[in-house]
A and B are shown apart, each in its own frame.
Chain A
Amino acid sequence: MLDERSKKLRRLIIRMVETGRRGHIGPAASLVEILRVLYDSWLNFQPENPRWRDRDRLILSKGHGCLALYAILADKGFFPIEELDRFCFSESFLGGHPEDKIPGVEASTGALGHGLPIGVGMALAGKIRRQEHRVAVIVGDGEINEGSTWEAAMSAAKHNLINLTVLVDYNKYQSYGPTSVVLELEPLADKWQAFGFGVMEVDGHDHVEILNALNRTPISKAKPSLVICHTTKGKGFPMAENRAEWHHKSRLSDADIASLYACLG
């Protein structure tokens, strides 16, 4: 069962698609608790000073999950919550993939497999300068089909980037269908361990479990960390859960919007 905080963030997601009438609803809904824990309990940031030097860096490498990111950034005060009502408007800074012109967004993503290499660069920068801040990168399960992710994984391990934490939103579905059908990722934990990461697996909708894992980073001595978050695509919206056709929806009707709101009670 989702608690009121999780429902509130999901209502903000619907608020945006009500405006834009489109969006990656399934990939955003699986992410909500991961982002919630990061912003409520783990990342250091200053919404009024988004480029604060000592902030922790978060990159949403699966940029198509941006509805959830916009919801939490607005909730935290990086920009006025009314901006959500302009999602995908020509003059809004909130588009279908996040760009670094948005307060609180570190890197423009949307093309997959880019966030982890950039995150490795940022973590390496912190290491060279002996800075205290941490770097977190959220990757999608379909996203890590990209070879660049694994190039970056080797590099992160080589440089012993203990300040880097990767979270995999493992909702088991990509655009076409199940990840096990399109390109099998298993054994996923073994793969990341073999690539030199300290690995933990959690229920990606259980905020206590997620926070416990984050608080244990670095999970292994002298290694970058990776948390596999087992999630449900479309979580909280039964008609969208584990349904590939909800990966991206356009031309949403008033009835669709009403039924999405109804799911949250």
Chain B
Amino acid sequence: MRKTSLEWVHRLAQKDPRVLFIGSDLGAGVLESMRIEMPDRWYMEGVAEQHIIGMAAGLAMEGFLPYVNTIATFLTRRCYEQLVVDVGLHHAPIRLIGNGGGVVYAPLGPTHQAIEDIAMMRLIPNMTVIAPCDADEMARVMEASLVWPDPIYLRLAKGGDSIVSHPTDGFEIGKAVVYREPGKVLLVSTGIMTQRALEVSTMLEKMGISCGVLHMHTVKPCDDKMLLDLASEVRIVVTLEEHKRDGGLGTIVLETLSELNVAKVPKVVRKGIPDSFPTQYGSQDSLLESWRLDAKSLVVDIEKEILERI
């Protein structure tokens, strides 16, 4: 996914003279071909994220379209005031590509785990927040990013994630994709939790529980209409995210569904990371399992919710 996004930065730069790449202190050889081909459009600016965001905003105010890439925690927590003031307040259309959204960097510990990035970024006025589910969808996001008027935070997953998106799904920033039509249950997911949602849906269907999947690649602006339409037909909405339960997709869905005007409001169950710092290392999968965010645990817990509710 990251490889795809960076290759697309180069491709977009070949197409549009406004496009620039700015990294902090990334791995050796990042976008080497772009650096050689267009040295005045490729920058590696050091471990100085506050400055980088301000500089990118200054370039955007002059008409450039900077794509900024570093580890998600440093791209969000470290420079939050710059994101709010320099980017949000100035409506500066920079693109922020955050490596390792969620617990991709599980072995590196809590300093590197971006588990509140969606919550932070969605609070910034004018900011768009997108978490694609796979590399193919990432390519569609990148293509769309060239003409999107607002700043974008793009949350990357680990890479090598199984491809579940399809060109026939279409892609539009702000438009959710229905992967499976809802039954009793509607799973709403973002990022690579959509793969997990599909797995859970299949397992629940086998148990006789009809279960839809709505993939919200764009967390902000939220596709309110689609969400309200689908949720009005189901008994339970389950949100799945590799993010804290507070402030992210689950919160957005709750906020949106509070507008629902139907006789039987569905129960909303938010599956995500509890309000604490991770205490284990291991792998992305093992950490998710520790929070019962693996497919098997999710099936067990969702079935329990259904039995309690229906």
Contacts and interface: CB of A to CB of B under 8 A. Distances in A.
B54 to A, nearest CB: 3
Given A100-B90, A108-B85, A108-B89, A125 B51 contact: no
Contact of B50 (A99, A125, A128, A148): A148
B58 A121 contact: yes
B77 to A, nearest CB: 15
B55 A111 contact: no
B61 A155 contact: no
Interface residues of A, number: 26
Interface in B75-96: 81-82, 85-86, 89-90
Interface in B155-170: none
Chain B CB within 10 Å, residue with most, of A100, A121, A147, A155:
A121
A106 interface: yes
Interface of A: 99-100, 106-108, 111, 113-114, 116-126, 128, 147-148, 151-152, 154-155
B267 interface: no
Interface stretch (B41-49, B105-113, B115-123, B283-291): B41-49
A124 to B, nearest CB: 6
B282 interface: no
Given A120-B55, A125-B62, A152-B48, 13 more contacts: A108-B85, A108-B89, A113-B50, A117-B51, A117-B58, A118-B54, A121-B54, A121-B55, A122-B58, A128-B41, A148-B48, A151-B48, A152-B54
12 contacts: A107-B61, A116-B54, A117-B51, A117-B53, A118-B57, A122-B59, A122-B61, A124-B59, A151-B46, A151-B50, A152-B55, A155-B51
Given A108-B85, A117-B82, A118-B86, A128 B40 contact: yes
Nearest to A127: B40
Given A100-B90, A114-B85, A155-B45, A125 B64 contact: yes
B113 to A, nearest CB: 24
B46 A111 contact: no
A100 B82 CA distance: 16
B56 interface: yes
Contacts of B64: 125, 128
Q: Which of B53, B60, B86 has the most chain A CB atoms closer than 10 A to its own CB?
A: B86
A155 B55 CA distance: 9
Nearest to A125: B62
Contacts of A117: 50-55, 57-58, 82, 86
B48 A114 contact: no
B125 interface: no
B250 to A, nearest CB: 31
B48 A155 contact: yes
Contacts of A120: 51, 54-55, 58
A121 B82 contact: no
B45 to A, nearest CB: 6
A128 B61 CA distance: 14
A249 B61 CA distance: 33
B82 A114 contact: yes
Contact of B59 (A99, A125, A151): A125
A116 B46 CA distance: 16
A114 B54 CA distance: 6
B50 A118 contact: no
B63 interface: yes
Contact of A147 (B40, B50, B58, B89): B50
Contacts of A126: 62
B94 to A, nearest CB: 10
Contacts of A106: 61
Contacts of A119: 58
A123 B58 CA distance: 8
Nearest to A148: B50
Contacts of A154: 46, 48
A122 B54 CA distance: 10
Given A122-B61, A124-B58, A152 B51 contact: yes
B61 A121 contact: yes
A246 B53 CA distance: 33
A121 B86 CA distance: 11
Contacts of B55: 117-118, 120-121, 124, 152, 155
Given A107-B90, A155-B48, A125 B85 contact: no
B49 to A, nearest CB: 8
A118 B54 CA distance: 5
B56 A108 contact: no
B45 A118 contact: no
Interface string B8-20: 0000000000000
Contacts of A147: 50
A152 B45 CA distance: 10
